[in-house]
Structure 1
Amino acid sequence: MNKFWKSSITSVVFVGTLITGMSGGLASPISEAPLHQKVSHTSHFAGEIDLTIVNEEKLIQALIKRGVIPAKATEAQKQKGLHSYLELKGKDESNLKASKDPLAKQVKQAEAKKQKEFKEFNNGLLNGNGNKNGQFKKQPDPVKEGASPGVVKQGKLLTLMVEYSDFEHNNLQPNETDNYYEDYNTKHFEDMIFGDNGVKGPNGETFVSQKQYYEEQSGGTYTIEGKAYGWLKLPGTAAFYGADRTTGGHDNVAPGGSKILVKDVYNAAKAAGVPLEDYDLEDSHDLDGDGNFWEPDGLVDHLQIIHSGMGQEAGGGSLGDKAVWSHRSASLVDPDGLGTGQPGFYDYTVMPEDGATGVFAHEYGHDLGLPDEYDTAYSGAGEAVAYWSIMSAGSWAGKIPGTEPTGFSPWAKQYFQSTLGGEWFEPATLDWEDVSSKGTQFLLDQANSPLGKNNQAVRINLPKKETPVNTPKSGSYEFWGGQKDETDSNMVTNVDLTGKTSATLTFDAWYEIEEKWDFAFVQVSKDNGATWKSLGNANTRSDVVPEGYPTILNSMPGLTGHSNGWTEQSFNLNEYAGQNIKLRLRCVTDWGTSELGFFADNVKVVADGQTIVEDGAETETTKFTLNGFERFNGNKLMNHYYLLEWRNHAGVDAGLGNIARGNSLMSYDGGLVVWYVDDSYTDNWTGAHPGDGFLGVVDAHTNTDLRWNIADGTQLQASSRFHLADAAFGLDKTSGLNLVYPTQTLDYATQKGVRLFDDSKSFSNSFMPDAGRDLQSYGLKMTVNGKASDKSVGSIVIYK
């Protein structure tokens, strides 16, 4: 299988409700050479970490100080040491497994519902209107804001500030953090999270609050309310909650761990009289199954835990490896019982005392269902999103990193529109079949003006792309049980074994099924289909989760998990010798997380040495009746499309012009940003598939040789975050790069603006493949033909 179409978007893209990482921190300015190994992730373990929140510069400094990385290491050696450290952090160790989640069933069902809403929203987008047939306006007027319809949805966010028994708040030192305050008091966090007028920065600046950020991005239709409480004293030490295992690796596991931390925070909050009942307004996992996500469910809706000291992902400061690694997860703490007494805790985030708005707003995006848009596996040298979105490196933008987060990607806004409503995303939509040779003009308002009179964005739906899933075991076709939630498909045939003394069913099987939740069965009926019995062999299992789908629970044993390629399956039918039976292969899935499914080829029944049934799916007329199964050639048609937006340095996107890099500021130039969405991928692991992923920006100045000059005279290719600084299409010259670090510099002269996108051109990048995009050519073109005097509106023409 040469593509990473591994599972439906449900299984990876919307795991944000349980375990999602924060965006990529202050990633290293260089790439040693793209590291193409995968880094595993800890999830549903006693110790939780998020690799994607790493502040690499701070962490490298800490690792050098502790002797993990040699003091005189080269830049390449520093990167290798860092990646080795992170790989050890992510090791999957079975003895760290946490207790099973009692809400797993409801969570899966709720995510399936949200995914269905998102798909229906995508399918229902209407075509927008543009100026056609060459009547193009090259000098649009500046953006004209409309009035907000008012708040449509509101989130209630509980913020609890906690300090360890041996490390109270306000023990940070100015040289430990870029976001240093003398007093991290309640007012500071209430201003940063809920402030109507922003938050005062360390040097007296005014920075955007989390509330302001969400209100701007939603056109005033989504807001947050709440309070910060604390500082609350915890009974344990910092090391009790955050210490690493003595052998290294997992964080927050010994001796207390993150789950005990959440329990102790709950007890401290109740003891302090925190009104938990004020923070239960939503049923985010639809625990009662009535389809209403906006009613109390007995759990605090949105919980932010702020701990004293720094996070280990930034080196941990004076706590070092004793510090808690910031993360997001779920742990049920509800001593009163769900729905009785005080609301319990479930979903939560843990963040450090010196955290800034960007990381807090990013994490809240996960609370609302968003995935990371970053390379969460640290598999390569970055992905083609970088600072263009808060769900990647954009959460760390700002002169003080993290204080000026950039806007959401249009893909994220598209999701919010489907789940929250309001004014997040209402694009003009153009199908490929409707693109004309004469062209259609669209006026795009700046992305931070969702209430403007022109278009917020343009979506171009492309012809579905053929995506390899697998290769039939033999011939050109195979049988496939499908890939849907709550499916029950089968292929059935009559098998006459009268007069026979022995019989065997054999077939080749290829399956990727959600382990212990979804199953494939081989079943026999002796009463013409009234009742069925599941057969077993050496590969079948009965270890279904107790919360599983009832039909699955009652049908054991079956095949589940991943076959890791084609496997030969054999089932003994001797019990049915002498009888006329029905035989079927059956697939049953539950409410969510549909993986690739079950495939069968070369199905054969041999009785007394004679083949009596044989079918390899090669002909349209099969020996089986297909009830949900289908003949499949190994390729699936998948959706892919472009999302076009106009970005500049207005509103929260001021952060695009203020990206702290070493002793310098980097600017991402504004203009037409072309996003490519590819539903055949569910991650942005560019090390595994350079140039491909579920979401990425098309770089207008692609294939640039962008090298750091190192003090030792060597040169190293810059990572994707630097390549994408001039990714926007437009009329203006780029800003260029002049970045200075203590031991390296990056100089890149200004370039002419690139106004034309032409999909017949390659947008891959041979120097930094992770920054490129692999696009299919249809003859699509789009050009920037004008802009408003203040750059608040762009004019584009789409044609073929």
Structure 2
Amino acid sequence: MIVSRVSNKKLSPFFILIGLTLLLLLVFSVVQQQQASSAYSPSEFLSGVNGRVVPNERPPRDDMVAAQAAGIRIGDDGAAAALDQWYGEFSARKTKSGPNPIAYERRMAELAEAEALETSPRALDMGELGTAKMLMIPFEFNGSDTLATCDENGDPVADSMVDGPLHGTIPDPSLDGDNNTIWTDDFSIDWYQELMFGDGVGVVRTDLNDGAGVDLTGISATNWYEEQSEGLYSIDGDIYPAWIQLDHSVAWYGWDGDELNPEGTGYPCDGTPSGYGFEFTIDVANKLNEIDPGFDWAQYDTDGDHIVDHLMVIHAGVDNSAGGGAYGNYQLWAHSWDVYCDKGDGNGLTVGCQVEGEDTPDDESDDIYIANYTHIPEDADIGVVVHEYGHDIGLPDYYDQTGVTSNSTAHWIVMSGGSWSGVLGGAQPAPFNPWARYFFGWAEPTVIDYDDAAQMFTIGQSDPTPADTEDSVWINLPDQPVEIENMAGDGKGLHTLLGNNVSHMLMHEFDLSGATEPVFTFTTYVSIEEDWDYTYVKASTDDGATWTVLLNEEMFYGTENVNGTPVWDGPGGLTGTYEGTLTYDLSDFAGESSVWFAFDYVSDTAVQEPGMWVDNFSLDDGDMNLYSSDLEDTSDWENTDGHGGPGWEEVPYSEFYSHYYMLEWRNDQGSIASEGHKEQYYSLATDQAGWLVDKFPANVPGLLVWYRNNFYSNNQAVNGGREFDPPATGPKGELLLADSHYNPIVWSGGWWDPDAEAPAPSFSNRRGAMDGALTLDETPAWMIHDYADSTAEVMDFGSREAVSSFHDSMRSVPGWVFPGNGFVYNADEDASVVIAGADNYTTQIRALADDGVNIGNDLVGFWGFSVGGQALGSGNPGDTNSQFGVNIELVEAAEDGSWGKINFYNQMAEFSNSVDMEDVNGNAGSEFTLTYTTMVENTGTETIDEINVAYALDAALTLDSMSADVGTVDEDAGTWMIMDLAAGETATLTVMASGTVESMETLSTAVTANDGILDLGPWFLDTDVNTYVYFLPAIFTTPSR
């Protein structure tokens, strides 16, 4: 059996991506932390910190690294499925991780405080401000290990023998055809000083650029953060002046239970040999204290919470996220995480390990601990540094952590794939997104409402923002109502309030002194993260001092802790899915005068499913009912979250979630991150071991349109059926880019593979989304080897037509393709984001082009059908009047690319079409008349200059007349033009047509329109024609005798 890094090993968790319902709990936690230096001892403070169950690992460099980690070769039979499985397993770990919990909670509490005052953290001088102090410690592996190895079935095979590596043993990558890896023959302490806090490492890789090499002068982590914060935040610190030597090999710490060893013989028999995978950080600290017993750890605790603020360790060798070099899966994987130690208090492993003050056990005032840490490789670029440090100061990842899709954040932001951007991989990582800068207190966005008056904005690049320009513009949309129903019964019921690391109790005291065989029943709907979260039904006879977990007669409960979740309290917890009645026998408590009966919903570090609903409580003793409640009144139940608030909520009710667009200007010069936009990469398949890439630029300068939707707490764009959530089919998440060029980029063979009868290999969306900005010029040329094969022809996969405007009446995702084989396929599942709609709208469906391999035109015959519950159509929200009327036009850009001028306006024409008769019944040859009506209302805030409507009558109809209350009608052309329709005004067109009943048929008239922005329709107005049929009467005769 392959065991994961944390399988069956108990850790205290932390909570990530908390919802609005957790705000009170979150603020409570942070207030507790902020008081730590004065009101709490270090041990008390740490006892309230919930650490991360698993590390927050840097995403793999590319699919080739992932394939190597999975032990497969891209292109081999079954490789695609194996790669998907590897990404799924890698990402499953990530869902239980997140940012540094201490920093995240502090930032979220400050954000809540600022927004409660209707202002921003920047306005209140909150956030990550000033100069942070970091301690960096390099370490190497001076030992050897003989490691028990098992095959995929868990059966022992030959042991794995591993030693090293020491630092300075990474070979020159140029010898293997590499053109994108940073390298020096001496990764010295001075090198890291310049990389981190200095002015860059200067010229490297003199094998490139005809011997000129690559000049990284000016590129350091400190400079990058100072540019991103516009001088509000900086990093300083110290690098320990020697490589700490550990007594083990790297495999002792880095070889995880699901990783095939480089020899391809097997997996570690008992999971990560060191235990969990954070032990190297503890060992580094202990070794440092051993060789330098007077080391002053306290100087790195600047906020007085007795925890080293920012600890970063550097391991010898190539990182596993870049392939691990000769050590492959034995190597460590760059990450952000927490350390755990047993403090002898009976609580087992908890966050934090003491590194100073152990010689004064009765005095905690001089105690210093390490807790959160980040970890980078010897050949680190600043991309891995600033990405992992981003977690350390509170940010989550924004790439899709399921591995199913790559989502449209792509390489646009550092907390997604953008940590790998640059002239060498990771040398010039992408910027933070606008919300992150707001979260850190570095930016003050201009905020407007979607229906505000038209206005012009000049938006500047954020690093630095030019004078007299906006940092970003946010466009608020109406809050989204979400109905929370009572899934357990009629009328009112109760539902668990969701959250991570919670214990939500619902309790009632019963007198069972006269009962003999009491039984408690209730109706329920359960949808709880299976084998991770639980609801325990309990009873207590000592006022809650101790509890007995109860088992239901239906035998729906967990029986073993298969995932090692820390909230496990023994068999009996309700987990997974169930709908119906549950029955609990309380006979063991008969005769007791005080029995507390309780529901206790407990959750782990991350991921929430809908929860548990309860209704229709009944306590019976034989034929006698002792208690019943339909929960219309719940005041007789104690309801607590353990922090003074309720843990269960009354249902049904409506919840409202905010969502908005964020407009951000990007440039290709002026900062480290902006320069990196010119240096995107596509990894190439090659016979050599080195990282060989084609380089291409993003389409900047340009305007990015981000859609932030607070209904979602992550960027798992299509996970769990989210793809089919309203308002249309496609990617959805917390923060995604509305890609201006959302249609898939295809290799030379086209989108469809006729031989395989399946979509052909396609351009990676992590790269394809990098033409997603609005620009005034066509996208730049992308000269890339076809199929990313170093032996194939170099072709231009860019040079696409400029898109300079965003209209929320127009589709933003590529939808479906029907190739004619009876199935529909995603044109590009990853691409862009489903933009907001006031109501549901359709999803585009297209056929193949005449060549049989590329995507063709709309498949109008399929309109009105549905896939996954979502209707097919043009995909344009404007066709169903579902848009909010948000329109953004890029009208000008600075010559140096430092700003763009946009025109914002709210324009929305609402069309309604009708025919007076949907059915015509008559004798053959009889005449009939149909009346069609089209009404147009300007529901926006601005006058619409011109609207055009066109009618195409069914060929069996004759136009009798066209008339309108305003505008110009051309009967011969079948058109109607309206000029200057003011906000709030309506216009109506009436069309009269006649026909003759000939046979049973459907007459279909098509209406199309242009609202000054978008070609709308066709809308089909159908009338069924039915002819009367006469039958001769039957004649009955009397048979002769």
* TM-score relative to the length of structure 2: 0.58
Distance 1:673 1:653 in 2: 13
5+ long unaligned stretches in structure 1: 1-6, 15-41, 129-147, 283-293, 418-423
Distance 2:656 2:490 in 1: 20
Instruction: Tell me whether 1:707 sits opposite 2:684 in the alignment.
Output: no
Residue number among 780, 783, 787 corresponding to 1:738 in the alignment: 783
The structure-2 alpha-carbon separation of the partners of 1:728 and 1:250, relative to structure 1 and needing over 3 Å to count, comes to farther
Cα deviation, 1:710-760, whole Å, max 9, x if unaligned, reads: 799964222222331221123222224331231556643523332332223
Please say which of residues 180-189 and 782-791 is displaced more in the overlay. 782-791
Deviation at 1:270, TM superposition (A): 2.8
Aligned partners of 1:150 and 1:221 also within 8 Å: no
What are the equivalent positions in structure 2 for 1:525-544 lying under 5 Å apart? 536-538=549-551
Deviation at 1:195, TM superposition (A): 1.1
The structure-2 alpha-carbon separation of the partners of 1:184 and 1:623, relative to structure 1 and needing over 3 Å to count, comes to closer
Cα deviation, 1:643-679, whole Å, max 9, x if unaligned, reads: 2211121312111111122443222213221111222
Distance 2:376 2:115 in 1: 34
Distance 1:249 1:379 in 2: 27
Cα deviation, 1:127-173, whole Å, max 9, x if unaligned, reads: 99xxxxxxxxxxxxxxxxxxx99994221111222222243222222
Residue number among 254, 258, 262 corresponding to 1:242 in the alignment: 254
Aligned partners of 2:52 and 2:605 also within 8 Å: no
Q: Which residue of structure 2 lines up, in the alignment, with residue 334 of structure 1?
A: 354
Please say which of residues 309-318 and 182-191 is displaced more in the overlay. 309-318
Residue number among 808, 829, 836 corresponding to 1:769 in the alignment: 829
What are the equivalent positions in structure 2 for 1:257-656 lying under 5 Å apart? 258-273=277-292, 276-277=295-296, 280-282=299-301, 295-331=303-339, 332-334=352-354, 336=356, 339=364, 343-380=368-405, 382-417=406-441, 424-432=442-450, 435-436=451-452, 438-450=453-465, 452-467=467-482, 472-475=487-490, 478-483=493-498, 502-509=517-524, 510=526, 512=528, 536-538=549-551, 562-566=575-579, 568-573=581-586, 595=608, 598-609=612-623, 614-616=628-630, 628=646, 629-633=648-652, 636-650=655-669, 651=671, 652-656=673-677
Larger Rg: 2
Question: What amino acid is the match of 1:537?
Answer: L
Distance 1:306 1:276 in 2: 18
Deviation at 1:362, TM superposition (A): 0.5
Distance 1:231 1:758 in 2: 56
Deviation at 1:450, TM superposition (A): 4.4
Instruction: Tell me whether 1:214 sits opposite 2:225 in the alignment.
Output: yes
Residue number among 687, 692, 696 corresponding to 1:666 in the alignment: 696
Aligned partners of 2:537 and 2:600 also within 8 Å: yes
Question: What amino acid is the match of 1:116?
Answer: A
Relative contact order, higher structure (CA 8 A, sep 6+): 1
What are the equivalent positions in structure 2 for 1:781-792 lying under 5 Å apart? 781-783=886-888, 784-792=890-898
What secondary structure is seen at the aligned counterpart in 2 of 1:223?
strand
Deviation at 1:396, TM superposition (A): 0.4
Aligned partners of 1:782 and 1:796 also within 8 Å: no
Distance 2:893 2:387 in 1: 31
Aligned partners of 1:708 and 1:717 also within 8 Å: yes
The structure-2 alpha-carbon separation of the partners of 1:181 and 1:517, relative to structure 1 and needing over 3 Å to count, comes to same
Instruction: Tell me whether 1:754 sits opposite 2:803 in the alignment.
Output: yes
Q: Which residue of structure 2 lines up, in the alignment, with residue 29 of structure 1?
A: none
Distance 2:310 2:638 in 1: 46
Cα deviation, 1:668-723, whole Å, max 9, x if unaligned, reads: 21322111122222222235244012211111222x13112479996422222233
Q: Which residue of structure 2 lines up, in the alignment, with residue 183 of structure 1?
A: 186
Distance 2:102 2:120 in 1: 32
Across the aligned residues of Structure 1 and Structure 2, the Cα RMSD in angstroms comes to 4.7
Aligned partners of 2:411 and 2:421 also within 8 Å: yes
Aligned partners of 2:16 and 2:500 also within 8 Å: no
What secondary structure is seen at the aligned counterpart in 2 of 1:455?
coil
Cα deviation, 1:473-531, whole Å, max 9, x if unaligned, reads: 344753124347999977778989898755422113436489999966666899xxx98
The structure-2 alpha-carbon separation of the partners of 1:200 and 1:258, relative to structure 1 and needing over 3 Å to count, comes to farther
What secondary structure is seen at the aligned counterpart in 2 of 1:371?
coil
Residue number among 737, 747, 754 corresponding to 1:697 in the alignment: 737
Aligned partners of 1:276 and 1:300 also within 8 Å: no
The structure-2 alpha-carbon separation of the partners of 1:736 and 1:467, relative to structure 1 and needing over 3 Å to count, comes to farther
What secondary structure is seen at the aligned counterpart in 1 of 2:615?
strand
Distance 2:655 2:516 in 1: 42
Please say which of residues 576-585 and 397-406 is displaced more in the overlay. 576-585
Instruction: Tell me whether 1:795 sits opposite 2:901 in the alignment.
Output: yes
Q: Which residue of structure 1 lines up, in the alignment, with residue 1016 of structure 2?
A: none
Distance 1:763 1:251 in 2: 48
Q: Which residue of structure 1 lines up, in the alignment, with residue 993 of structure 2?
A: none
Deviation at 1:538, TM superposition (A): 0.8
Question: What amino acid is the match of 1:570?
Answer: T
What secondary structure is seen at the aligned counterpart in 1 of 2:577?
coil
Distance 2:308 2:417 in 1: 29
Distance 2:249 2:539 in 1: 56
Aligned partners of 2:518 and 2:585 also within 8 Å: yes
Aligned partners of 2:538 and 2:600 also within 8 Å: no
Distance 1:192 1:481 in 2: 49
Q: Which residue of structure 2 lines up, in the alignment, with residue 137 of structure 1?
A: none
Q: Which residue of structure 2 lines up, in the alignment, with residue 4 of structure 1?
A: none
What secondary structure is seen at the aligned counterpart in 2 of 1:387?
coil
Aligned partners of 1:709 and 1:716 also within 8 Å: no
Distance 1:280 1:514 in 2: 44
Deviation at 1:281, TM superposition (A): 4.2
5+ long unaligned stretches in structure 2: 1-14, 24-50, 143-163, 206-212, 258-264, 340-351, 359-363, 640-645, 684-692, 724-730, 754-759, 816-826, 839-883, 907-1041
For this pair of structures, how many residues does the alignment match?
695
Distance 2:521 2:126 in 1: 63
Deviation at 1:574, TM superposition (A): 5.3
Aligned partners of 2:104 and 2:393 also within 8 Å: no
Aligned partners of 1:410 and 1:645 also within 8 Å: yes
Instruction: Tell me whether 1:729 sits opposite 2:774 in the alignment.
Output: yes
Aligned partners of 1:8 and 1:682 also within 8 Å: no
Normalized per residue, which structure has more strand? 2
Deviation at 1:467, TM superposition (A): 4.1
Q: Which residue of structure 1 lines up, in the alignment, with residue 130 of structure 2?
A: 153
The structure-2 alpha-carbon separation of the partners of 1:622 and 1:371, relative to structure 1 and needing over 3 Å to count, comes to closer
Question: What amino acid is the match of 2:189?
Answer: T
Aligned partners of 1:487 and 1:590 also within 8 Å: yes
Distance 2:127 2:112 in 1: 26
Deviation at 1:218, TM superposition (A): 0.7
Distance 1:728 1:498 in 2: 72
Aligned partners of 2:784 and 2:797 also within 8 Å: no
Distance 2:386 2:602 in 1: 35
